[in-house]
Amino acid sequence: CGNIEGASLFTEEEEALVVKSWSLMKKNAGEWGLKFFLKIFEIAPSAQKLFSFLRDSNVPLEQNPKLKSHAKSVFVMTCEAAVQLRKAGRVVIRDSSLKKLGSVHFKYGVVDEHFEVTKYALLETIKEAAGEMWSTEMKKAWSVAFDHLVAAIKTEMKPSS
């Protein structure tokens, strides 16, 4: 360990809370991912229009594999962000991937409010999955990891050159 900056940003306990709850959800990642996105669309129905693969598809929402895989990316990358915040004191994403992530979300018209709704839905979904394991500490750990990841993505939310 020994990274003072990192330690103050994200503790080992916080990392463990994120990793533990995600490992619980992993087996049914598709199912939780679907619940997660249904919550988002319940609060912000218009967000559905952002996803090209939902617009151009006759497959019902519940069966759309791309929706499940996007949901899983959000979970996995937030979990990875937690690990990196503890280890490195910051979110580390390969430069090229971060640029791609930023430009894709910019291009599809994702705005601050979408990230806010998504954060809320993410926490609600984890709360449901974690059951008795859920705590304010667990909520805070996921929130902090998500906020840092989103901040990193937002730095690259501009037109791709």
- Per CB under 6 A, residues contacting ligand HEM are 47, 50-53, 70, 73-74, 77-78, 100-101, 104-105, 108, 110, 114-115, 118, 149-150
Is residue 33 within 8 A of residue 72, CB to CB? The reply is yes
Query: Cβ closer to ligand HEM: 17 or 149?
Result: 149
Q: List the helix and strand counts (H, then E) for the chain.
A: 8, 0
Q: What is the closest distance, in whole angstroms, from the C-beta atom of residue 118 to ligand HEM in the complex?
A: 4
In angstroms, how far is the first alpha carbon of the chain from the final one? 38
Residue 69 Cβ, how far from ligand HEM at the closest point, in Å?
Answer: 9
Residue of minimal CB distance from ligand HEM?
52
10 Å Cβ neighbour count for 31? 14
Nearest Cα neighbor of 34 from 120, 121, 112 is 121
Reference 98, options 145, 147, 155; nearest CA is 155
| Shortest distance (Å) from residue 51 CB to ligand HEM | 5
Q: Which is nearer to ligand HEM, 3 or 86 (CB)?
A: 86
Instruction: Classify residue 43 as left (phi > 0), alpha (psi -120 to 50) or beta.
Output: alpha
Measured from the CB of residue 75, what is the shortest distance to ligand HEM in angstroms? 9
Q: Which is nearer to ligand HEM, 73 or 160 (CB)?
A: 73
DSSP summary character for residue 29: H
As measured in angstroms, the least distance from the Cβ of 59 to ligand HEM is: 14
Of the two residues 29 and 110, which places its CB atom closer to ligand HEM in the complex?
110
